Amino acid sequence: MRSEHTARRGRPTASAVLVLGVLVVVAVLLAGCGVLPVPTRSPASPDTGSSAPSAPSASTAPSSVAPTPADGRPLEPVPAVVPPGVTDPPAGSGPARYTGQRLDWQPCSQRAECASVSAPLDWSAPDGRALTLVVGRIRATASPRLGTLFINPGGPGGSGLSLLGGFPTQGLEHYDVASWDPRGVGRSTPVRCSGGADLDRLFSLDVSPDDDAEASVLNTAARDLGRSCLAGSGALLEHISTADTVRDLDLLRGLVGDERLHYLGFSYGTQIGAQYADTFPARTGPMVLDGAVDLDDASKVSQIQGFERALGHFATWCADQRCGLGDDRAAVLDTVKRLLTRLDASPLPGSGDRVLTQQLGLSGVLTPLYDGTSGWPRLAEALGQAVRGQGAGLLALADRGNERDRDGSYGSIATAFPAIRCLDSQATSVADADRKARALVSAAPVLGPFSGPDVFCPLWPVAPAPEARNLHRVGDRPVLVVGTTGDPATPYEYAVAMARRLDSAVLLTNEGEGHTGYGSSACVQRVVQAYLNEGRVPASGARCTAG
C-alpha cells in the first residue's frame, strides 16, 4: 500500500495486512481477525520536522517481578525503559490537563498544517506519564464550514499523516479534513522494535512450516520480535490498543471544537469507528466505514479466502488477456500455486544479493490485489518473470506491501501492526493457531497452504487488552457502511455483517475489485459525499455498479 497508490486514488493501500502466517503475511495481510491494511508512507505526507526515531533511553532494572502468565501467553516483565516521546504530563490534574490544551497549528506541507497533542500513556491514570500524538489537517475552503472530518487509513499501524498527504479533498471542501498518526505509529510516539536486517530476516521466514524444526524457527522469531518491542517500548506496549486510540480520537474531536465526531475510516479504521460509536454514541456524528473488518472474528469467510477469490478474478482476466501464465483460470491459478511451492526449497534471485523466498513471493502476489484491476498487469508481469526464473518483480511488490525502502529501512507499520493487533487479540494458543491454519488449506486451496499459523499473538509478551465485545451502538444518526464485492483484504461479507450488527447502519454495496471503495469508485464518492455534506442516507440495498 505504498503512498503512490494512496495519492493517486485516495484509498488505503496494501501495507501490512493479513494476519495469516507471519505478519505478511506479517505485513501484507490484515483484517479478518481485526487486522487490517493501510496506506504507507508518502512523499507528500506532512513533514513535522521530527527526525528519525532515536533509540530508547537505557533500560534500568525490570519494573516488576516476572508476571504470572495470563491466558496462556508467555508474559515477561515490563522494563523501566522510557522511550522517546513518553514525557511528563501537561500542567494541571486529571483529564482536564489534556482537554484544556490548545492546538498550535504550523505548516507541515504544501497542503497541510500539523500540531502536537499530549495524551495520557494510560487513560486510567491521567496524572501519570504522557505520550505525543501528531495530527494534521487540510483547512476547509468553502462556507459554511461543517466541522472536522477525521480520516483513518487502517492497519493497524497505518499513518494517518501519510494518508492525508495524498487524500483527495474535492467534494469535501466544507470540512477541515484531518488525520493523525495513532499512538505507537510514525510521528506520534512510536513503538520501537527490531528493524532493518532483523525485519528482512523476519519477512523472509517460512511461515508455513513443514516440520517441527521449521515451526520452532517461526515460534522463536515471534518471541524475539515481541521481546524486542518490549525492550524498546516498555510500558507503551501495554497501552496501544484500539480502546486507547478511541479515547485519543475523542480527545482530538474535543480539541478541534466539534461536539460530534465526523469520521471516514478505511479497513481497520472501521474498527476504530465502530468502537468509538459504541463507546461515545452521544458524540458520534456522520460516520462512514469503508472496507469493514470482522469485528469478532466470527465470519465464516476468512481473509485468505477473500484474497483467493480476488486472485481467481485476476486469473480469469489473465487467461482472457493471454498473459502467458495459463490458458484458463484454473491453469493460471495452478501456475501461481506451483511457483509458491517451488520457492519453499528454491528461492529465486531477486535484486542485489536478496532472494525471493516463499513468504516474500506470497506477499508479492497479495500486494497488487489491493489495487484492484489496476494492479493486475503488474502482477501478471511479475509472475511471468518469476516463472522464467527472475524474482525481482515479485520482490519489489513484496517490498511495497511490507513498506521496505530501497535503503533497507521499514515504515513504522512493520512493527506497529503486530504490536497493536496482538494487544487487541485474545489469541493465546499456538495449537489453536495451528488448527486454524490447517483449516485454511481446504478453505483456500491455492493460497491457504502457504499462509501458515498466526503464532505472533499467542507468543506476545504482554497480556491482551480487555476485549471489546458486542459492539452495536451508533448514536442517533445512521452509519454508512461500504463494502466492495471483490475486496481481498476485507471480504464483502464483513461489510454485510457489520451493517447488520450496528444499530441503524446502512450498507452501500460497491461492485468492483480492490480494497475499499471510496478511492476507486466515483459512484461511492458521490454517495459518501452526499451523506457527509447533506445528511442524505442511501436507500436500503443501494449499489454502485462497475463500469
What does the pLDDT look like over 395-425, one tens digit per residue?
Answer: 999 999 999 999 999 999 999 999 999 999 9
Torsion angles phi and psi, residue 138, rounded to 5 = -110, 120
Grid cell, residue 497, equals: 455483517
Total count of domains within the chain? 1
Catalytic residue among 176, 515, 520, 521: 515
Mean pLDDT rounded to a whole number for the chain: 88
Q: What is the pLDDT of residue 34?
A: 31
Q: What is the pLDDT of residue 467?
A: 87
Q: What is the pLDDT of residue 475?
A: 81
Task: Judge whether 239 and 78 are in contact, CB under 8 Å.
Answer: no
* Surface-to-core class of residue 298, CB atoms within 10 Å of its CB (0-12 exposed, 13-18 middle, 19+ buried): exposed
- Is 429 noted as a catalytic residue in this protein? no
Task: Judge whether 462 and 78 are in contact, CB under 8 Å.
Answer: yes
What is the domain range of residue 333?
A: 304-402
Q: What is the enclosing helix (H) or strand (E) of 215? A: helix 212-233
Closest by Cα among 279, 90, 257, 281 to 178:
257
Q: What is the pLDDT of residue 24?
A: 43
In a domain, 309, yes or no: yes
**d(C-alpha 308, C-alpha 302), whole Å:** 10
* Chain segment 294-347, per-residue pLDDT in tens: 987 666 688 999 999 999 999 999 999 999 999 999 999 999 999 999 999 999
In a domain, 360, yes or no: yes
**d(C-alpha 21, C-alpha 23), whole Å:** 6
- Amino acid letter, residue 382: A
Q: Is the dihedral of CA 179, 183, 184, 188 positive or negative?
A: positive
In a domain, 269, yes or no: no
In a domain, 50, yes or no: no
**Torsion angle, CA of 484/487/491/494, rounded to 10 degrees?**
-40
In a domain, 372, yes or no: yes
Catalytic residue among 267, 299, 520, 521: 267
In a domain, 321, yes or no: yes
Task: Judge whether 240 and 135 are in contact, CB under 8 Å.
Answer: no
- Is 425 noted as a catalytic residue in this protein? no
Catalytic residue among 206, 487, 520, 521: 487
In a domain, 445, yes or no: no
Query: DSSP string spanning 321-337?
Result: TT-SS-SSHHHHHHHHH
In a domain, 118, yes or no: no
- Is 407 noted as a catalytic residue in this protein? no
Residues in the chain with pLDDT values less than 50: 1-10, 12-24, 26-66, 68-71
